[in-house]
Structure 1
Amino acid sequence: MPGYNHLFIPGPTNVPDSLRRAVDLPMEDMRAPDFPEFTLPLFEDLKKVFQTETGQVFLFPGSGTGGWEAAITNTLSPGDKVLASRFGQFSNLWVDLCQRHGLEVEAIDVPWGEGVPVTRYAEALAADTEHRIKAVLVCHNETATGVTSDVAAVRAALDSVGHPAMLYVDGVSSIASIDFRMDEWGVDVAVSGSQKGFMLPTGLAIVCVSQKALEARKSAKLNRCYFDFEDMIRTNASGYFPYTPATTLLRGLRASVDYLLGEGLDNVFARHHRMAEGVRQAVNAWGLKLCAATPHWYSDTVSAIYVPEGIDSAAVVRHAYYRYNLSLGAGLTKVAGKVFRIGHLGAINEVMVLSALAGTEMVLRDVGIPVEAGSGVAAAQEHFRATATGEQSIAAAAQ
């Protein structure tokens, strides 16, 4: 089909032209004497995206899953107890990773459509008077269900009982898109990846670590090699890496950080909320329901949308791809066949969202879901028109 694929999955996301040009470079010497002039400022500016002054950023060639493994293996020992919750595909996979590494995981199962159960976390932490729990895991944004959890509330639960456990956050589909405050929320390890809010190709695990977690590495006994913080600390100090870095992605990351800081993080978060609300207005106009159980859980980076009984959501995704060259996210595991997902994160604006909604409306009607033509698009249009500001228009034009 002529034209290009319209990518509205929750990652990888669209790569802006300026970032695509930034990675389209000849190979370079990663041992060059002037390489640190590039890398050292990048490490420092990445801390601004995580909103930390005291944390340290590590850049591993890999994915968010690699970031999870780096977080766990560098800070914990076999048999350590971890508190976690399962309410979607990715929160479940992080639990699985911990179990495979020989950790004792107290995993609280939560209905899909809800998020981290803060009250139950608080109860578990209060009951742990011997402080056997060494780490508390939070999936900030569960991509499978379109649910965002309250990291600050988990920190408050830890502090209310004076529990010393470290706080780990999977921010793969939230950091650089949804408000995330590492220092203010007392996060000890935060994991992200290049392919979502950072608007780059897949290939970098971006991990930020508190001083408390760095200290914990000294007694951590889990096996590690490729993801060893120690090797990174030693070589990063002078601006280099312990093995060949993904230099083109690092150049793209420099452009990404400039893009984000240039827009302003508060503006980035507000833009994502505004785009997400446009999608939610459309879903409501279609008469469909989000997987997220209540507005409390709504995600500003991805919406998982239930299809009516008797409709296979996989057919929605297939039809969108083959008929309209539109990529929507599929339902995963427990919600496979029940939901499809619209990703609305990264380099995205009103007209891009409207194109996704228009295509989705055609798909829904084609597969027999009785939505009124133009209803979702019109609802989103009116939301965008009502919430537009001159400043937003100027910023969008500048980008």
Structure 2
Amino acid sequence: MSHASGRHFLQIPGPTNVPDRVLRAINRPTIDHRGPEFAVLGREILSEIRTIFKTAHPVIVYPASGSGAWEASLVNTLSPGDRVLMCETGHFAVLWQQIAARLGLEAEVLPTDWRHGADPDAVEAALRDDSAHAIKAVCIVHNETSTGVASRIGELRQAIDRAQHPALFIVDTISSLASIDYRMDEWGVDVTVAGSQKGLMLPPGLAFNAVSDKALAASRNARLPKSYWSWDDMLAANKSGFFPYTPATNLLYGLRESIRMLLAEGLERVFARHRRHAEATRLAVAAWGLEVLCANPDEHSSSLTAVLMPEGHDADRFRAVVLEAFDMSLGTGLGRLAGKIFRIGHLGSFNDLMLAGTLAGVEMGLARAKVPHERGGVAAALDHLAK
């Protein structure tokens, strides 16, 4: 392969660009994970990470991907044959449903057109119909990475409360944590699922379960098999800053640095920055004469924007043109959206000039791939950013 000068633009919605500060933090000698220096690191991380989740409850950190966090959330709280209410908001919601089925759970699925988030009214109706309280958990993907649609978690909590249903509330924040406003305790979430490779600005490899008192109580009676994912073992070791098995030490160095960066910027500023970049991106899409996949403005994602291709044009061919011509990776369409959309990631360690370059690459790519569009998307975004 020929050498491409300059820096590759990684504009998929995760894994995201890893900041130099985090890379330098990871690039340290590994220490004894049973020694006193590691205990200091562990206690600091396990305390400060709660701020990112906006919770006073424990946050459990696994060496795993987000899929592991999905499984951990289920096996620690549920028993074989339990019913769970899940909303099919996109490809990753489907994958979570598949894990539930493989674990022997009965998933009751509320469908969507993949252009809308979870419907609070539909959730409330399903829970009201469950007068026997057979449904043990409601599982929602906060920000569906495959569609760029963010479900309204606060409103879903209100729907559960209106139904007066005792089900656990389990929320996937893999592509929303540290990018989109999320309030675990205020919104009454019982288990928050997260991963390291998106808003936390780390490489893949860390998975998280933040757990409420209600979830911990449920775990005492949960009968799904578990060993590696056991909350009990993790929480017991975490009290002194340690882990029950070998942790991803160098990724934890990076996590400590990313937490420091997020808190130094301030979470509200982080969320505002993501909103601003998302708004600029949608203005660019509109100026090109293209359509954003998300149909409800109240559910627009701040982490990414999914863009529909014009009829007769293949999104993957367009992405290939952009990669070859401009060394920029855009997100592919997944599941039923394969070939129909491309996704622009604008989350994590990201600023105005990076967004301008990203949108310039998209606009040049549309022209090179002969995709019907209007010029001026970049200019529309820059006008917004200049304000």
TM-score range, shorter chain: over 0.9
Q: TM-score, normalised by structure 2?
A: 0.98
Of 142, 145, 157, which residue of structure 1 is paired with 2:144? 142
Residue 379 of structure 2 aligns with an amino acid whose one-letter code is A
**Would you say 1:83 and 2:88 are equivalent positions?**
no
Quote how far apart the aligned CAs of 1:34 are: 3.0
Of 127, 131, 135, which residue of structure 1 is paired with 2:133? 131
Q: Distance in 2 between matches of 1:34 and 1:268?
A: 31
Residue 19 of structure 2 aligns with an amino acid whose one-letter code is P
Residue in 2 that maps onto 1:105: 107
Quote how far apart the aligned CAs of 1:87 are: 2.0
1:112-164 per-position Cα deviation (integer Å, ceiling 9, x unaligned) = 11110111100011111111110001100001110000111111111112211
Q: How does 1:16-27 map to 2 (within 5 A)?
A: 16-27=19-30
Q: Distance in 2 between matches of 1:160 and 1:350?
A: 42
Residue in 1 that maps onto 2:237: 235
1:208-228 per-position Cα deviation (integer Å, ceiling 9, x unaligned) = 111110111110000111111
Residue in 2 that maps onto 1:9: 12
Q: How does 1:259-270 map to 2 (within 5 A)?
A: 259-270=261-272
Q: TM-score, normalised by structure 1?
A: 0.95
Residue in 2 that maps onto 1:378: 379
User: SS of the counterpart of 2:370?
Assistant: coil
Q: Distance in 1 between matches of 2:344 and 2:225?
A: 38
Q: Distance in 1 between matches of 2:373 and 2:125?
A: 44
Residue in 2 that maps onto 1:394: none
Residue 58 of structure 2 aligns with an amino acid whose one-letter code is Q
Quote how far apart the aligned CAs of 1:371 are: 2.7
1:293-349 per-position Cα deviation (integer Å, ceiling 9, x unaligned) = 121221000111001011000001111112210000011111111100000000111
Q: Distance in 2 between matches of 1:84 and 1:106?
A: 6
1:168-219 per-position Cα deviation (integer Å, ceiling 9, x unaligned) = 0000000111000000000000011110000001000022111110111110
| Structure 1 residue runs of 4 or more that deviate by more than 3 Å after TM superposition | none
Q: How does 1:354-373 map to 2 (within 5 A)?
A: 354-373=356-375
**Would you say 1:63 and 2:65 are equivalent positions?**
yes
Of 205, 208, 212, which residue of structure 1 is paired with 2:207? 205
Q: Is the 8 Å Cα contact of residues 60 and 210 (structure 2) preserved in structure 1?
A: yes
Residue in 1 that maps onto 2:47: 44
**Would you say 1:185 and 2:187 are equivalent positions?**
yes
* Identical aligned residues as a percent: 48
Q: Is the 8 Å Cα contact of residues 59 and 210 (structure 2) preserved in structure 1?
A: yes
Q: Distance in 2 between matches of 1:35 and 1:351?
A: 38
Quote how far apart the aligned CAs of 1:33 are: 2.2
Q: Distance in 2 between matches of 1:307 and 1:33?
A: 55
Residue 5 of structure 1 aligns with an amino acid whose one-letter code is H
User: SS of the counterpart of 2:377?
Assistant: helix
Q: Distance in 1 between matches of 2:296 and 2:269?
A: 25
Structure 1 spans left out of the alignment, 5+ residues:
387-399
Q: Distance in 1 between matches of 2:277 and 2:199?
A: 14
Q: Distance in 1 between matches of 2:220 and 2:252?
A: 28
Residue in 2 that maps onto 1:216: 218
1:8-60 per-position Cα deviation (integer Å, ceiling 9, x unaligned) = 0000001111111010111111011232122112111111110011x110110
Residue in 2 that maps onto 1:323: 325
**Would you say 1:174 and 2:139 are equivalent positions?**
no
Residue in 2 that maps onto 1:391: none
Quote how far apart the aligned CAs of 1:275 are: 0.6
User: SS of the counterpart of 2:291?
Assistant: coil
Quote how far apart the aligned CAs of 1:4 are: 2.1
Quote how far apart the aligned CAs of 1:271 are: 0.4
Of 244, 247, 250, which residue of structure 2 is paired with 1:245? 247
Q: Is the 8 Å Cα contact of residues 65 and 206 (structure 2) preserved in structure 1?
A: yes
Q: Is the 8 Å Cα contact of residues 310 and 372 (structure 2) preserved in structure 1?
A: no
User: SS of the counterpart of 2:5?
Assistant: coil
Q: What is the count of residue pairs matched by the alignment?
A: 384
Q: Is the 8 Å Cα contact of residues 89 and 141 (structure 2) preserved in structure 1?
A: no
Of 273, 283, 291, which residue of structure 1 is paired with 2:275? 273
Q: Distance in 1 between matches of 2:215 and 2:334?
A: 32
Q: Distance in 2 between matches of 1:77 and 1:68?
A: 15
Q: Distance in 2 between matches of 1:58 and 1:325?
A: 37
Q: Distance in 2 between matches of 1:50 and 1:87?
A: 22
Residue in 2 that maps onto 1:292: 294
Q: Distance in 1 between matches of 2:326 and 2:36?
A: 50
Residue 368 of structure 1 aligns with an amino acid whose one-letter code is K
Residue 172 of structure 1 aligns with an amino acid whose one-letter code is I
Of 25, 31, 34, which residue of structure 1 is paired with 2:34? 31
Q: Distance in 1 between matches of 2:313 and 2:36?
A: 60
Q: Distance in 1 between matches of 2:335 and 2:42?
A: 40
Q: Distance in 1 between matches of 2:37 and 2:24?
A: 22
Coordinate RMSD, CA, aligned:
0.9
